[in-house]
Structure 1
Amino acid sequence: MNLRLSVDALRVFRAVVQTGSMSLAASLLHLSQSAVSWKIKRLEQQLDCQLLARSGGLFGTTDQGAVLLRHALNILDAHDDAVAHFSPSAIQGRLRIGVTEQISLADVCAVLSQFSHHHPKVDVQLVVEQSQVLRERFADGVLDVILHQDFAGKAAPGDALLWTETLHWCAATAEQALPGETVKLITYGPHCFYRRLAEEKLGQAGMAWSVGLECPSVAGMLTAVAAGLGMAVVNERNLGQGVHRHVVLERLAPLPRVDSLLRANDNLPDPVRDGFCQLLLAALQKA
């Protein structure tokens, strides 16, 4: 079979899967939505199978699409590495990135290292802050790209969904006794929406609370919880580090799910910003 797949079409396919949206993929790649749709249709015709399926308003892969995605990620990585080797980047500029610590800093820093290797003339600045602070700085034009969290379903129109996870009440042990009068909260600080959520849910359950410790880092907060100094709201990806879901609070004050989101200032085309976003989405898709 004399079948050749277009690198550009595979790039479009990857972007649609990573963003879950034809329109967001088109915006990210600076293509029209009809061009994105046509490239996907052309791939499906070539491979004689359906690659995408809509679920909950977002596009995901079919079984065959998942197979193609695995190959596409490898092909695009190899292609882009080869181009970077033989054609050193002349891209210059400044990229200001904000990330909340609830999203893996290891993954983000690995992408930044790879991006800086390919584009050494770009001045990159990384800020780690709470989601609300990141959104405010983005709105003020201080940051170009942010990776932030918000309650599931609250994403802004331009946000790309990375993943959704559940929040949990955590303590040193699953059966840690609740204090007779006041729940001691361990929080990330006054700017963290986890704290406002905790206060709201405890209030609804008729339970008194006070803040026993504020710590802006995930590691510090988990250390305090594991030591039995109080209870905290923890996202699913940070479970298992010496803390346990608290069965009683989970029942008395159930917590919602949260979305991890990518927001980019895409009012004007910017090869620095767009190149980083594509690299980041590809890395997080594999994570």
Structure 2
Amino acid sequence: MAVITNLPTDLLRTFIAVVELGGHSKAGALLGRSQPAISLQIRRLEELVRAPLLSQEGRTIQTTSAGEALLSYAREMIRINDEAVSYFHRSDKTGVLRIGLPTDYAVAFLQHAITNFIQKNQDVELEIHCDLSRELHQHLRSDELDVIVAMMPSARMPYLSRAWVEQPIWAAAEGFEDVAHRPVPLGAHPEGCDYRARMIQALDSAERRWRIVYTGPGISGLQNAVLNGLCVTALTRATMLPGMRVLGEGEGFPALEPLRVGLFYKHPRLSVAGLQLVSDLVAGLDSVGSSVRPLHP
């Protein structure tokens, strides 16, 4: 019979803390352990997985290739462990949670998970912050937000829990008629929006002229501008409304590049309530089907 190696959750939790906080001392301060004790736990974990997990360049701690692979597993294992514990410690779920969402996700399926969480956890106060993804990442790094859903400029990013792919589509009013000799009237969020960049890139590649005729930060204003025939824009299926139709390549609107989206949080700093919300959001992601994938190698 093969011998099964168990990875203790306390070692995995320490590993995550060292990586996310950027050092043994900071992880020790958070976990209430000395720096030598943290180093010992990391060495023990390396013995169990039979690979070095961390390397140091100057004062910067980085994961090795093995460490990067383990980090994905460790975050998921600790999340499931903490989800189980929080089920039996439901009375501990109090406090304030600060959630960051791109505008589209404030009205899409993630909103239902957040609403359900509020109904089940009335002692927890949620603060929802909608902004461009680049701003949300900055707010998470500076500890101004606890959990964010945001577009990913690269495949590997700090604090990433889950990633999935969204396919933007061209949306117009049902009665919209494209006039070939006129620039395409675009509606978009402000500069820095990934959807905006995708539209411009696609039209430039097809050598089609365009002009921005509507700019606004909110999704409802953009949807109304489309429904009123003022412009076309890029949406996801979740934000299409009755009265809209999809524009395709046959009408001169080239396919838009997919978007990679991620769920991010700093595990060591998250409360019991925050861990429960993350679990609810992950369940919401898993329910949408095969487009959602866990970040395991």
Is TM-score (shorter-chain normalized) higher than 0.5?
yes
Partner secondary structure for residue 256 of structure 1? coil
Larger mean CA deviation between 194-203 and 21-30 belongs to 21-30
1:135 is matched with which residue? 137
Q: Is the CA contact (8 Å cut-off) linking 1:174 and 1:245 kept in structure 2? A: no
Matched, 1:198 2:225: no
Matched, 1:218 2:266: no
1:261 counterpart letter in structure 2:
G
Counterpart Cα distance in 2 of 1:126 and 1:207:
38
Counterpart Cα distance in 1 of 2:95 and 2:77:
19
Task: Give the 5 Å matches for 1:56-205.
Answer: 89-103=91-105, 105=107, 107-150=109-152, 154=155, 156=157, 158-161=159-162, 163-173=164-174, 176-205=177-206
Q: Deviations over 1:31-58 (max 9, x none)?
A: 8xxxx9xx9xxxxxxxxxxxxxxxxxxx
1:254–1:155: structure 2 CA closer, same or farther, 3 Å change rule? farther
Q: Is the CA contact (8 Å cut-off) linking 1:89 and 1:119 kept in structure 2? A: no
Counterpart Cα distance in 2 of 1:223 and 1:110:
22
Q: Deviations over 1:228-270 (max 9, x none)?
A: 2122112233235322222247755321112332111224463
2:75 counterpart letter in structure 1:
S
1:254 counterpart letter in structure 2:
A
Counterpart Cα distance in 2 of 1:237 and 1:91:
30
1:113–1:197: structure 2 CA closer, same or farther, 3 Å change rule? closer
1:26 is matched with which residue? 74
Q: Is the CA contact (8 Å cut-off) linking 1:174 and 1:246 kept in structure 2? A: no
Partner secondary structure for residue 103 of structure 1? helix
Q: Give the TM-score, by structure 2 length.
A: 0.61
Q: Structure 1 regions of 5+ residues with no counterpart?
A: 1-20, 40-76
1:239 counterpart letter in structure 2:
M
Q: Is the CA contact (8 Å cut-off) linking 1:147 and 1:260 kept in structure 2? A: yes
Partner secondary structure for residue 132 of structure 1? helix
Q: Is the CA contact (8 Å cut-off) linking 1:222 and 1:242 kept in structure 2? A: no
2:161 counterpart letter in structure 1:
A
1:175–1:106: structure 2 CA closer, same or farther, 3 Å change rule? closer
Q: Give the TM-score, by structure 1 length.
A: 0.62
1:57 is matched with which residue? none
2:229 is matched with which residue? 228
Larger mean CA deviation between 137-146 and 232-241 belongs to 232-241
Query: Offset at 1:226?
Result: 2.3
1:106–1:238: structure 2 CA closer, same or farther, 3 Å change rule? closer
1:154–1:88: structure 2 CA closer, same or farther, 3 Å change rule? closer
1:217 counterpart letter in structure 2:
G
2:171 counterpart letter in structure 1:
C
2:235 counterpart letter in structure 1:
V
2:228 counterpart letter in structure 1:
A
1:26 counterpart letter in structure 2:
A
Q: Is the CA contact (8 Å cut-off) linking 2:187 and 2:222 kept in structure 1? A: yes
1:22–1:243: structure 2 CA closer, same or farther, 3 Å change rule? farther
Partner secondary structure for residue 198 of structure 1? helix
Q: Is the CA contact (8 Å cut-off) linking 1:149 and 1:258 kept in structure 2? A: yes
Query: Offset at 1:133?
Result: 2.4
Query: Offset at 1:196?
Result: 1.9
1:237–1:115: structure 2 CA closer, same or farther, 3 Å change rule? closer
1:208 is matched with which residue? 209
Provide runs of 4+ in structure 1 moved above 6 Å.
Answer: none
